[in-house]
Chains A and B, each alone.
Chain A
């Protein structure tokens, strides 16, 4: 009881302890906010990766179409597979008449790079929409129509809809291409279309060197004209600015691909890794031997590893913040022991033991770190929770916008509070505080009571 009473009285009697407590509070508060925002960003990054990748993919490069279809049927029939869809991807270049060269865009001459994704039209309106499907709001997978420019595409339920004889298209196509049924439909990512001025009806020449070369000829590009039938927007600007979507059969034909299906993209229930293993067993038992079966995490392990690496670096940085925040405790207690030396002698005269004198300052340190950490944790969580309204308020009064959400396609600063990790930081803060208290406490415990009584 004496320790608690004395520790409390010592602390409240000295404003310097308030500074130490505030230092811990502010340190932990900063950590909570930084961690929550960083977690929000990392979470968004992960969600983007997650949203743009199928749960599981099965490589079927070596299969002809009937074999790939048989495999597809088998996979679709498997328990836990919500949907499965064939797809191909081809590197290509695009060019449109009248487009001015763009500085900075990857190009050769006046042609620009684009990755073409071949999907079956029915898949785009079906349950599997891995490529175009993304998350405009966290944690949701909305309908494909949300991503298509309704104003530009009259029939969002048929994204590849193109009828050169329909008046809608006739009036949008260049005069010389009106009623040209050789044109293939293509969907561009919205930012890409915006940069190049592509609109529905714009005719774009696509060139690719993918596929099997003609006998005796190497590196001869194939070209074909496509008509822009719409745009799409995922939340990943990088993806949107580098990809276009075309009907799979047309792409296979245009690029003269050996394999009509490169991979099957699956949407599954439950853990993708578990489903990957089950499918591997199932297909092996059925004597169907596809290529690699991978989850989205397997495919993006490098990027996900980078995300985790960012978090690890941040944890180290946060650890140093904790050390700096709690170091003031060492200084405060060191000073306190010096000033209370005579008290230590008096306590000894009253029957207190030497270790108890050390314990007294340890209790002081613990009270400061506990109070600082808990208040910092609560304040940080509160601020993190109200961060966006707070930023709005600051903007309203000062006109200064801290976070330009449109650069990241976020409406607001992403904040994700991970209580378990924050409690971990609080524990580290309390641990560091205690550690910094140990030396002054040890000094107090070693004081000779007689010398302490004589201390001026």
Chain B
């Protein structure tokens, strides 16, 4: 029996009894021990928990970068674990967006090219040139939306941490994903920049209507999402949302 609430809206993600373990130093590490999760379209869910508790592993499973040892996973109502690898790659490309703590921009590409890359992957030259203008306009609009229109031609090493994360957010949104997975998106940023990125993330999340699963240690950010789940002992638990100022709840866990 799951102790995670099921949303009333149609589920963007539905995970049941996800298990994942790793072997390390001859030991079996049970990271996820039957994770149940439902995230409705447009819903924002924060996942909190101790470092090394499996939050990123959960995101990798939800993002189809990794496969669980057991369990079931549906994305927009489709079973994705039974799908062939190519189909999972396409789903990840078209329906899932990632935002990482370390931004993970490709250093050789400009901000604009980093965003465009999402649209280029898997596109044949014919498709690409047919949709090039449209995609370019979309990219520029996104960069404008994240406040980086003027720095589109800059390489990542010429951008600040906050600016890099804005590019990463624009990249994740280019294909209008159904699921946005954010892995500690403000973890590398100072207080003020973190607040700006949080604001931006929440705004674009609302604008795009994508489901969002956000792993964070920031109680303030977690408190601004629809639900907060805690990953503990390899399982997810619903917890009470922290106060808006992020001062209450979960002090021992986060």
Contact = CB atoms under 8 A, between A and B. Distances in A.
A9 B109 contact: yes
A5 B125 CA distance: 11
A351 B100 contact: no
B121 A352 contact: yes
B86 interface: yes
A352 B106 contact: no
Contact of B100 (A10, A348, A453): A453
A343 B106 contact: yes
B233 to A, nearest CB: 22
B104 A348 contact: no
Given A6-B106, A346-B106, A351 B92 contact: yes
Interface in A337-352: 342-343, 345-352
Most central of A9, A345, A349, A353 by chain B CB within 10 Å: A349
Nearest to A347: B121
A407 interface: no
A449 interface: yes
A423 interface: no
B65 A449 contact: yes
A348 to B, nearest CB: 6
Most central of A1, A345, A449, A453 by chain B CB within 10 Å: A1
A359 to B, nearest CB: 12
A10 B106 CA distance: 10
Nearest to A4: B125
Given A2-B120, A453-B65, A350 B108 contact: no
B60 interface: yes
B33 interface: no
B119 to A, nearest CB: 9
A13 interface: yes
Given A1-B123, A13-B108, A342-B104, A349 B63 contact: yes
A125 B86 CA distance: 82
A2 B121 contact: yes
B98 A349 contact: yes
A351 B94 contact: yes
Contacts of A353: 85-86, 89, 122
B108 A351 contact: no
A450 interface: yes
Interface string B23-66: 00000000000000000000000000000000000001001011
A352 B104 contact: no
B108 A346 contact: no
A348 B106 CA distance: 13
Nearest to B171: A350
A335 to B, nearest CB: 15
Contacts of A10: 108
Contacts of B109: 5-6, 9
B65 A349 contact: yes
B143 to A, nearest CB: 17
Given A9-B109, A346-B106, A1 B120 contact: yes
B117 interface: yes
B176 interface: no
A450 B120 CA distance: 22
Contacts of A356: 121-122
Contacts of A13: 107-108
B113 interface: yes
Contact of A351 (B66, B89, B107, B128): B89
A343 B106 CA distance: 6
A9 to B, nearest CB: 4
B154 to A, nearest CB: 14
B45 to A, nearest CB: 19
Contacts of A342: 104
B21 interface: no
B120 A348 contact: no
B242 interface: no
Nearest to A449: B65
B161 interface: no
A346 B104 CA distance: 6
Contacts of B105: 346
Interface in A1-48: 1-2, 5-6, 9-10, 13
Interface of B: 60, 63, 65-66, 85-86, 89-90, 92-94, 96, 98, 100, 104-109, 113, 117-118, 120-125, 128, 171
16 contacts: A1-B123, A1-B128, A2-B121, A5-B120, A6-B106, A345-B65, A346-B104, A348-B92, A349-B63, A349-B98, A349-B100, A350-B93, A350-B121, A351-B90, A449-B65, A453-B65
Interface of A: 1-2, 5-6, 9-10, 13, 342-343, 345-354, 356, 449-450, 453
| 4 interchain residue pairs of minimum CB distance | A351-B93, A2-B120, A9-B108, A1-B128
Given A348-B65, A450-B66, A453-B65, 20 more contacts: A1-B123, A2-B122, A6-B106, A9-B108, A10-B108, A345-B65, A346-B106, A348-B92, A349-B65, A349-B92, A349-B104, A350-B98, A350-B171, A351-B94, A351-B121, A352-B121, A353-B85, A449-B66, A450-B60, A453-B100
